[in-house]
Amino acid sequence: MKSFSQRFIIPLTFGLCMAGPVLSQDVEELEALFWARKDSALTRFSQADADFMTGMIAHHAQALIMSAFAETNGASPVIQTLAARIINAQNDEIQIMQEWLEKRDQPVPHIMIEDNQLMIHGVDHHHDMHMPGMLSSEQLQELEEAKNSEFDRLFLEYMIMHHEGAVHMVHELFNTDGAITGESTYRLASDIQVDQITEIDRMKLMLEELENLN
């Protein structure tokens, strides 16, 4: 007569063998669900978030035009260094914001600068030139025509105004109900604010030194 253990060892082993693939499949499905939910959480956004990214891309693009004048308009070495740093930083942030929009299946603005004219493709044009701190066409022409020390002064005055406009845009985003829905949005907006405020302080000191020389 078979013992209790002998009678159940074969069915039990068979049951475990059958359960193996099932458990493995369950784990894989749960893992896939986890990563899908994580990806979904990372790409959550509000319309205010998307509008901010779209608008800030155009805002940054005008800073590229302003900064490009430095090399050809006889700017001092310190202003040329500042302008080059602004170009590098703004280009990097434009790319980050374009990727942010693309990951969320939102229209992505593509900037084109031709004869110092900014053109935005891929989105509606209500963002183009109506944001805080952005120069009017007359102000942009004035900067383009300025030379040497006059360019330095005007560049600093207008770029301070331009940066203050970007900071205002960040404050508006943070004060909008339902905005800043993801960590990446918060981090990017915060970084823009910190960078702009730091450069505003630096440019105010540079402008003060320039005025003291005159």
Burial of residue 96, with CB atoms counted within 10 A of its CB: 0-12 exposed, 13-18 middle, 19 or more buried: middle
**pLDDT given for residue 107 in this prediction:** 94
**pLDDT given for residue 77 in this prediction:** 97
**pLDDT given for residue 20 in this prediction:** 58
Question: Can you give the chain as a three-state secondary structure string?
Answer: CCCHHHHHHHHHHHHHHHHHHHHHHHHHHHHHHHHHHHHHHHCCCCHHHHHHHHHHHHHHHHHHHHHHHHHHCCCCHHHHHHHHHHHHHHHHHHHHHHHHHHHCCCCCCEEEEECCEEEEECCCHHHCCCCCCCCCHHHHHHHHHCCHHHHHHHHHHHHHHHHHHHHHHHHHHHCCCCCCCCHHHHHHHHHHHHHHHHHHHHHHHHHHHHHHHC
Print pLDDT tens along the chain (214 aa): 555 445 444 454 545 455 555 556 666 665 655 545 555 555 688 999 999 999 999 999 999 999 999 999 999 999 999 999 999 999 999 999 999 999 999 999 998 888 778 888 887 654 445 789 999 999 999 999 999 999 999 999 999 999 999 999 999 999 999 998 888 999 999 999 999 999 999 999 999 999 888 7
Burial of residue 163, with CB atoms counted within 10 A of its CB: 0-12 exposed, 13-18 middle, 19 or more buried: buried
**pLDDT given for residue 21 in this prediction:** 59
**pTM of the shown model:** 0.78
CATH of the domain spanning 46-213, picked from 3.40.50.300, 1.20.120.530, 1.20.1260.10, 3.40.1830.10: 1.20.1260.10
Q: Which amino acid is at 72?
A: T
**pLDDT given for residue 125 in this prediction:** 54
**pLDDT given for residue 9 in this prediction:** 47
